[in-house]
Amino acid sequence: MTSGPATIQPPGGDAALEHVGWNIQHGQNLRPALDLLEQRAAASGQRPALLTLQELRPEQGDQVAERLGLVPVVAPPNVRPGSGNVLLYDPDLFAPDPSWTQYPSGIRHNPAVALLKMIHPDSKVTSFRPMFAASCHASYSDPVLREQQGRFFSELAKHEWLLLVQGDWNAWPVWACPTTLDRVTDRAYAQNRSVLTGDGTFRPDDNADRLLTYNGLVDTGRYAATELRQAGADRATTGHGPHKAAQVVPPGDLPPGGAGPIDRTYASAELVPALLGAEILTGPGIDDISDHLPQVTRWSLSLLWQVMDQQIVPIRH
């Protein structure tokens, strides 16, 4: 059921929706990761309404869903078997739109994508507009495939369509990209994270960020740091784990403030007024769980409803 022309009033108060995105390295430390999420939920009084997880083993999506009371959306099988992406949503706040079905993309790590309508917490009607929500893991070694994945999400972010996508992009944002990787010891890593330019030289890869922001999507961590003045919301999410010494970029090759996060959340610009904040979780007990740090975004339920229940006439593409 959707709300009709007389739009349902947005929920009152300052209720917030929390989204957590996390690459849990090969699913190896899933239990302590879930312990952390449950501790946060107990402290705040609410569980995450959206989870976007990467590098889980095939059976682990159901394990997360059972512990946290969420509905899992698992990515189509990868061409190469292995760790995968999982999206989980709160069935009290979101309902899938059956008009869209995910299909394999041909990318090594297929994204987990769902087209979701928001459920009004009081009236229980569903929003007029749906939103794509996605968990992704871009190619570790191939910048061409990373660009392909960026274009896949650009296809979901057409004019007046809504998208929230989080993942491990394996490349930097434009605003905090190293100037060069020429002095990185691990040469395979340097090549994997670089783009071959037309003049035969290499530059660090920031193409996915260029594509998505050119489309009009907003990096929520960067927005929280620069517009909402939330320090650290755009800090690096990798580099803290073991066996990383050979991949360190010398300080002289870093941009002012250091390299930006590999893990990022992008949202359609229409959704951004509903963004309350973002943070990168770090500290004892968190840094040891994975070689990536979790990213949290928080959204105003009332403002999110206003955007998703707009009575628009979608453009047919």
Q: pLDDT tens across 233-242, in order?
A: 999 999 887 7
| DSSP H or E stretch at residue 152 | helix 143-156
Please give the angle made by the CA atoms of 241, 242 and 247, to the nearest 5 degrees: 85
Half-sphere exposure of 58 (CA within 13 A, CB side): 6
Record the tokens describing residue 81, joined without a space: 């078997």
**Is 0.85 surpassed by the pTM of this model?**
yes
Of 9-13, 34-38, 108-112, 133-137, the range with the lowest mean pLDDT is 9-13
Encoded tokens for 116: 């979701």
- pLDDT in the model for residue 4: 33
CA distances from 148 to 107, 130, 142, 200, 235 (A): 8, 24, 10, 21, 26
Q: How confident is the model at residue 6 (pLDDT cuts 50, 70, 90)?
A: very low
Q: What is the pLDDT of residue 121?
A: 85
Confidence class for position 46, pLDDT limits 50, 70, 90: confident
DSSP secondary-structure letter at 246? Answer: G
In this prediction, residue 1 has a pLDDT band, given cuts at 50, 70 and 90, of very low
Tell me which DSSP letter residue 140 carries: S
β-bridge pairing 16-23 and 50-56: parallel
Tokens of 216: 């009009």
195-214 tens-digit pLDDT = 999 999 999 999 999 999 99
Confidence of residue 185 (pLDDT cuts 50, 70, 90): very high
Residues 6 or more apart whose Cβ sits within 8 Å of residue 137: 23, 54, 55, 83, 85, 109, 111, 167, 168, 170
28-50 mean pLDDT: 94
Structure confidence by residue, pLDDT tens digits, 70-102: 999 988 877 666 679 999 999 999 999 988 888
Which burial class, exposed, middle or buried, applies to 59 when counting CB atoms under 10 A from its CB (0-12, 13-18, 19+)?
exposed
Q: Where does the pLDDT of residue 11 fall: very low under 50, low under 70, confident under 90, or very high at 90 and above?
A: low
